[in-house]
Structures are given as structure tokens and as C-alpha cells.
Amino acid sequence: MSFLPVIHVFAIFLFSFCSLILAQQPYVGKATTNCSNTDTSTSVLGYSCNRQKAQNHSCQAYLTFRSQPPYNSVSAISALLASDPSQLSQINSVFENATFETNKLVLVPVNCSCSALKNQNNIRTKNLYSGTRITVPLRCACPTKNQTAMSVNYLLSYLVFPGDYVSSISNRFNVNTESTLEANGLSEQNSVIYPFTTLLVPLQDRPSNSQTIAPPPPPPSPTASPAPTSSNKSSDGFKEIENPILKEAEEESEDFLKIISSIAQSLKVYKFRELLDATDGFSPSCWIEGSVYRGTINGYLAAIKRLNGDVSKEIDLLNKINHSNIIRLSGVCFNDGHWYLVYEYAVNGPLSDWIYNNSSDGRILSWTQRIQIIFDVARGLNYLHSFTTPSHVHKDIKCSNILLDSDFRAKIAKFGLARTAEWQEGQFSLTSHIVGTRGYLAPEYLENGIVSTKLDVYAFGVLVLEIMTGKDVAALYEEENMQLSDVLNAVLHEEGQERLRHSMDPSLLGNYPSELAVFMFKLIDSCLKKDPVGRPAMDEIVQYVSRTLNTSLTWESSKSISG
């Protein structure tokens, strides 16, 4: 299965931030992911220029890149990262017309120079839409004077992958771990690194393709046999197992071993003890809902969910998805017959906590926040439908499965029911196993078991209706005592503005542009068509909501000025 990364930007710069110092480059961890950080005193915005007259200097440097379709060929990667294709093919020991296997670590030779990139993108970070052209800096660096004296000729910007350590990265490139720590301002006591940040690897010689092949994992530690006189009781509250993942894997089937092997290459595999420490032993104070707990791992919050049964498909899907509007799976654990999935933590919880008439506790979403959330969900679904191979259907879109981060940006969660939407000779796929939430299920699915992407479109329409009205779909059926189509017909055709005021969430206090509200009800109406062929595709919906969001932002801005 291959997945297309969502990349709309092709202006690439390779740079070090223009600060003339001779020191090594400090590793700043996750600070590089904070878009609002404008601190130029560290290497948050880019590595520092380390040579005199640095702004006129350039050097040969190297990056690493994980191949993903469509960026999985020499020509595509070279064009994306402004590299010479002949050099890229040579250093990776392939022909210029070669295509790499998915997730292959590719070495990318680049000419690194200093560029002052601040304010090159005169747009706000939260107002990026499909088709916008921006400049993307890539982090590279030149050796310092001290490093050159120590025979360091090149610096490789290694993109840290889940499961990487400074020692393992150093060993891969035949570099002393102490040298790598020093090059990044780290120490043995402070050597924590984070996925999707860059670590500089000091090299005396050019890197080679053989170093891109991951070394085999170390053999499991031998388990000491218990002494004949030892008690069967443990002195602790639980029995500690040195490596529960490997122990369980030895006892499971060949399929299970394949799952573990696949996961270990791309996701963090936690020991159960780590999750116990993260959640205070799964304390009630850390409980969120159901079997989900809040945990703290390496100083960062995470959501830890316990699952039973076969979760391999969900893990496999989330492991290969990379989209800002889909919840990120960061790690897994297997212990005592149970899976534990570790997700990014959404601070503001499920959307359902914010829209079902919760004005009494101060949880109110503005009009623009609601449209932004709708746009985010549409983008996430469009990614599933159009940028995964084969196409996938979520099958369980509803308010409680949409999570909100600290900026109220939406992330689609809970992929337990997700499945492929493969067509057979132009026909939709069928199922006799009907699952889901009442009110969100499309008629063709309930009646005939038809599964297609239009199933998600229908549920999306119900979701938008709930966001507009502030009521869950069950309440809409009961209070209005009519079908959803009848409610929409009253707003769009019969009673107009009066019915619109009656239908809109009262917590908005009328603070919304009525013309745009009508547009959204028209979108809902098109999503809830009984015939799935009549419903729009998610890519059309994304464009529709994008325009509505832009107009809403303009409306909000003008309202603030006039107010």
C-alpha cells in the first residue's frame, strides 16, 4: 500500500540561518515545529552559518529523505529538493531513471549556503490553502572551523525517524557517538532526540548507499532462569518483563511476527513499563474515556488506548498516513494479549464536547472556528479518499471521532472501522456486516451494504448539520419529528430566514453571516442525497468549504474593525 504525501509547494531553499558564530550547532528538538517561534538566538529557524564571510560561502552537504510516491524516483526527489540528479543517483548507487521502494532512506547531496529567509513568505501560517506557493527552507550546515581541524569534511542532516537514537544513527554512518553528540550540543546525559527533527552527523568521507540500509535489530536479551528456591510471588505490584514485545512475539503466530517486524521499522515500540510510568499505573486521574488514558512520555502528552483483537489493519493504515488533519499514531505496545496504541494528544478533546449545547460551561465555538473545523475534516477525508492507494473509507465519521488540538484544528480519529473502497469492474464493494452510528449511516449502506467513499460524504453532511445546529442527529430527529431532508427543505425553500434562525445553534447568538449559513445548508443538502452518485466528492467539498472559510475570515475581520 502506498500513500501520496500532501505537498503543494515546490520552491525549495537550502540554508543556514545567518548568525556568524564558530560554535557547534545546538539541537533544539521540537522547537523547530513551533511555527510562531521567532527566536534567532538559537538554531530553531535554521542552522547557523559557521564560516567567516558565511553569507557568500557554500559547501557540499547531505540530507536524508524517505521516499514516498510520487516522490520516489531520482528525478522526482532531485526536483523536489533542488539536488543534482546525477549526483543523487551516484551516491545511492542507482541509475538516473531508478525508482526507490517506498520508505527507502535516500541520500540527497545539496549545495548548502546561507540565506536570510525571514519574511520571504508574507502569509500567516494558519491561512495556507491548496495552490498557495510558499518558500520551504531545508536545514543543512557547513562544518565549523573546529570540526574542519578534526578532519570533518561534511555534515549530513539526518531526519530522525521513530525508534532512532543518537547511538544508532552514529553507528549507521560509522561515526563516533561522542562526535555526533558534540556536533549537536548534546551530551550522554542529555541525548534525547525527537522524530521528524534533524540531527547533524559529522562525516570525514562522503556517505554511501550501504549506510542507508538499516542494521538488523540486536538479539533479545536472554531471560534468566528463576532459582529453584525462588518464590512464585513477586515483591513488586507487577512482574517486570525485560522485553514484553519480543517475549509475546515468540509465542504468537507468523502473522503476528510480521506485524511486529513492520511496526518496529517505523513506529516506536514501547515497553509496557513505559506506559505504566506515563499514566501513573493507568490511574483514574489519567482516564479520559472508555479505554483511553492521558499519559506523559518524555515530557509530552499522549493519548494511550487499550484495544483487543486484531488491530493490524488500523496500525498499518495510520502508520502510513501523514496528514495534519488525521490523528497521528506515534507508537504501540503489546502486553498480556492486549494492544496499546499511543497517539498524539488533542488538548481540546472531541468536537462533541463543544457543539452539543454546552454554552453553560463556556464551551462555545465561533462561526469561523466551526467553518475551519469543517474544512479540516473535509481535507482529512479527501486525503483518505484521493491520496491513499487503494482509496480508504473511514466509515465512522461523527462528532465524537473528531478531535480538536490547542488551536481548535480538527483531526479525524478512531480508524477501527476503516477499510478500503476498492471497485470491482466499476461496481461498489459490498458488505453484509453493517456497523456504525445511527443517524450517520447512508441509506445505500443500511439497505444494501454498499461501501464507497460516498458513505463518508453522507456522514460528513450529518456532521456539518450538527455543527450548524448545535444538536446531535438523534435530537434533531426527535425534536423536529421529521426527516433531515425535511429540515433542510424548510431552510432552503419554504421558510427561509426565519427557519434558518430557528435551526442555527442558539449559542452563536445570531453572530454569523446568514448568506454563508445558507451556503452551508446547501452543502449539507447535497451531501445527504439518497442516491450516492448525486453526492459531491470530497475534493469538490474541500474547494467549496475553502471559499466559505476565506469569506468567513474576511467577514470576521471586517466585523472586528467595525466593532
Strands 410-412 and 105-114: unpaired
For residue 403, the cross-strand partners are 350, 411
Are the C-beta atoms of residues 112 and 140 closer than 8 Å to each other? Answer: yes
For residues 411 and 351, what is the distance between their CA atoms, to the nearest angstrom?
Answer: 10
> 217: cis peptide before it, omega within 30°?
no
**Residue 479 CB neighbours (<10 A):** 11
- Could you give the angle at the alpha carbon of 341 between the alpha carbons of 337 and 347, nearest 5°? 145
Q: Which is the catalytic residue, given 164, 376, 396, 505?
A: 396
For residues 442 and 462, what is the distance between their CA atoms, to the nearest angstrom?
Answer: 10
Are the C-beta atoms of residues 340 and 334 closer than 8 Å to each other? Answer: yes
User: CB-based contacts of 434: which residues, under 8 Å, 6+ apart?
Assistant: 441, 445, 446, 449
Are the C-beta atoms of residues 556 and 368 closer than 8 Å to each other? Answer: yes
Are the C-beta atoms of residues 330 and 342 closer than 8 Å to each other? Answer: yes
Check if 396 is active-site.
Answer: yes
Q: Phi and psi dihedrals of 406, rounded to 5?
A: -65, -20
Q: How many CA atoms lie within 13 A of 207 on its CB side?
A: 34
For residue 111, the cross-strand partners are 60
Secondary structure element (H or E) that encloses residue 459, with its range: helix 453-469
Question: Which DSSP symbol is given to 265?
Answer: T
Burial of 238 (0-12, 13-18, 19+ CB in 10 A): exposed
Catalytic sites, residue numbers: 396
